[in-house]
Structure formats: C-alpha cells, structure tokens
Amino acid sequence: MNIKGLCNAEISNAPTSVSLDFSHILWTLEQNYISSCGIEGGEQQPGNVLEYIGLEPESEYKDVPIVLISNTGEMETVNVSFTTTALELTTKSSKPVSGTTAILLAETNMSDAEVNCGFEYKRNDAPADMEGTKVFCPVASGQMAGRLKNLKDDVYYKYRAFYQSAAGNMYYGDWQYIFTGDVAVEFDPILYTYGATVVKENEATISGYALAGSEDFTEQGFEYWAESRVDVQGDNVQGTKVAPRRMPAALNEHFFVQASGIALRVTLTNLDAGTVYKYRVYGKVGDQYYYGSEQAFTTTGTYTPPTYTITFVNWDGATLQSSQVTEGEMPEYTGATPERPEDEQNTYSFKGWSPAIVTATADATYTASYAATPKSQGIDNVQRDDVQCTKVLRDGQIVILRGEKVYDMTGQEVR
C-alpha cells in the first residue's frame, strides 16, 4: 500500500449525501498528493474531497470502495462506511406573483450538492392516481424554490416537494395548494450564491440560484472581482502586494458574466493564480439590480506579477532611461539630472516629470519639464516696433519708458 496510516475519511453526514474528506491522508512518497477521488466505477472528482449524492435517507452504507489517485497517477482504493440521517422535506405555502405565475417553496435538510429534487404539481381536480408533472429545483441553504408559469387564474392546483434517490426511490413532502385568481401582491427575486467547485490555477466553476419575483429578469448571472493576492512570487506576502491581472481586472475591478435558467453555473477561465476572487449571483429587472450573498475562492499556484516598460524622455523626446518595472512598484529615474540648453530668450532648470510618477500599472512615458528664466533684455528687444517706448532724461541719464517699466540704454530693467 502506498498510503501512510489509517485510511479513514473525515465524514460529514446528510440525509441524501455524504462528504468524504481525504485531505489528511498521506502517500508513502511524500511528494505525491491526492489529485482526485471517486466512487469505484464512477467519475473522478478533482481534489481530495468527495461529495457522494443520491443516497437513501436513514441508511447504512458499508465498505464503499473509493478510488484515490495521486498527482503522479498512483492509485489506491479505500473502503469507507457511513450512515445517512433522516430526511426532512416540508412543502411550504406557495406565493402567487401574478394571475399566471406562482413561486413554490419548501424547506429541507438536504445538502446544496443534491440535484435530484424539486416539485411535483397537478390540477387539484386531477385523479388521485394521476402522476403530476415534476420540475427539478436546486437546494440553497435548506431552501427550495421554483417558479411555475402559465397557470390559469380560475383553476386550483396542488404541489409537493420531492426527492428521488439514485436508485429511483421517491420521497415526498405534503401537498400544498395554488390559486392565482386573487393576486394583489408583488415579490422580489430570490437569489442564492453557492460555493465554488473545481478551483484551479486559472479557472473556477461557480454556481447559484436566481428565481425571478413578480417580474422576469431582463439579465442575470454572476458578478466577480479579484480581491487580493495570497501567494506572490518573490514576496510570498499574504494579500499585501498590489499585483496586476492576467485577465481583465485589476484588484477590486468588477465584471459580469451572464447565465440562463434558475440554477446558474459558469466556469470562469483565464484567472490569475494565487488570487482571492469574490463573486455573487445577480439579477436585473429594468434598471434595478438584485444580488445573492458573496462567496469567495482562492486559485491555486503562485501569482507572478508582470512588468511594464517605463520610459523617461527629455523635453525634445530623446530617451534618457527605459527599464522594466513590476506592477505595483514605483518607477525611479536613476540617471543624471536632465538638462535643456539655453536659447535666445531663456535659460532652463529641471523641475520634475510630466505627468507625475505613479506606481506601475501599464507601459508609461514620463517627460522632463523645466522652469524657464528670461535672459537680460538687450536694447533692441526693449525698443521693438510693436511696443510704444519713450526716451527721457532722468538724473543726467537717458532711460527708456516702456509701459510701467523703465530700462537703461543697455536694456537692463531699472524699475
């Protein structure tokens, strides 16, 4: 056997499912780790936690064979025993939202992972032995909800929650009744956000639940954003380095991806490694947005910030310095103080960079700026044709009056 120690999984029981956590199991070869697990003969799930659904409530399962596969392809089969708990399935009163639509509700203790559950409905005057129509609805934090449309406002209907095990056995809640003929209320949407699954370095699958209220959604899906970096190459500082994006977004820049149906599920791709992402379900009615609760996941691996070309140029565009700077760091000019030659009118002194230097978020160019100091005026410049000047004699000296200023015969301003 290639596994160290006992092979007992950490078990979390539910009435129709069980969560088996193998994260504490070590392989004899310590560089190996569990990369996937699954029921023998079934599909493998990525990671070291297996959610086994579709079980019979209040039933004992003995020596269920679980296949564990390491990152190098090593395979071991371990046997796990567990007992499921009692199922709670309570059909709640419906909420009519229009003359043709009603929201169906139920409470349960099934796991959010369960998929074989929903509502059965039929006309109240249908024969007792007539099977109703079944619609599947997900579980969200102990709640089940569905939206039944195209009802007739002069007909009574009845419905009940159900669960169907993988073996085909049916479990039901009690019947409740629907009548939409006297609807005079409005309901807001119901939205839930589930935890992420299949989280890798650059992708994650997220899911949720979006049930419209009195009005249909005009748009629905997920909002998501990168919140922090947890493993940055070169720093290994938890969540402190302001690092960039491989995909669309800087930190805390929000994006939307649309999804259809009541049970929503999308796979976000091209994500950054070593990054905490947050997300939530949203639904839009007109200009109004409705949201589910926030959830988070952390992509695996190490985040490697990119670098950007930062260039410093002189007043005439000549390059003074060009270098690569890691995003989030402050560019620094390390060359000699920039200079600009004097011209006929002015001398120049360096005063800084334009625009002001900021932390690197993209390629950038900074241009040297200068303060200009006028040279002493010559007499020819004072006595220009386009300026009214007057020569006068003051204190035995000839001076030139030009507006409110006074110049001597060399062009120097004396007052």
Q: What span, in angstroms and rounded, lies between the C-alpha atoms of 335 and 353?
A: 13
Which tokens belong to 67? 């296949």
The b/e string for 260-299 (b: 16+ C-beta within 10 A; e otherwise) is eebbbebebeebbbbbbbbbbbbbbbeeeebebeebebbb
Query: Which residue is it, tokens 């090593």?
Result: 74
Q: What is the pLDDT of residues 256-312, one digit of tens each?
A: 999 988 888 899 998 988 899 999 999 999 889 999 999 999 998 888 888 899 999
pLDDT in tens, 175-208: 999 998 876 666 778 888 988 887 888 899 999 9
- For residue 212, is pLDDT > 90? no
Q: Is there a domain that residue 183 lies in?
A: no
Domain boundary among 42, 64, 83: 83
Q: Which of 245, 271, 298 is the last residue of a domain?
A: 298
- Do residues 41 and 58 share a domain? yes
405 and 344 share one domain: no
For residue 73, give its domain range. 3-83
Given this model, what pLDDT does residue 300 score? 87
pLDDT tens-place string over residues 9-53: 788 889 999 999 887 777 666 667 788 899 998 888 888 888 899
Query: How far is Cα of residue 31 from the mean position of the Cα atoms in its chain?
Result: 32
Contacts of 259 (CB under 8 A, 6+ apart): 210, 220, 221, 222, 265, 266
Q: What is the structure's pLDDT at 183?
A: 67
Cβ within 8 Å of residue 30, ≥6 positions away: none
Domain count across the chain? 5
Is residue 185 in some structural domain? no
What's the confidence (pLDDT) of residue 219? 95
State the chain's mean pLDDT as an integer: 85
Tell me the per-residue pLDDT of 163-177, one tens digit each, with 9 for 90 and over: 999 999 999 999 999
Please tell me whether residues 102 and 168 are part of one structural domain: yes
Residue 356: per-residue pLDDT: 95
Of all residues in the chain, what percent carry a pLDDT higher than 70? 87
Place of tokens 């260039």: 311
Q: Sign (positive/negative) of CA torsion 171, 175, 176, 179?
A: positive
Which residues neighbour 222 within 8 Å (Cβ) at sequence distance 6 or greater?
206, 208, 256, 257, 259, 264, 266, 279, 280, 281, 282
DSSP per position, 12-37: EE-SS-EEEE-TT-EESSTT--EEEE
CATH number at residue 123: 2.60.40.10
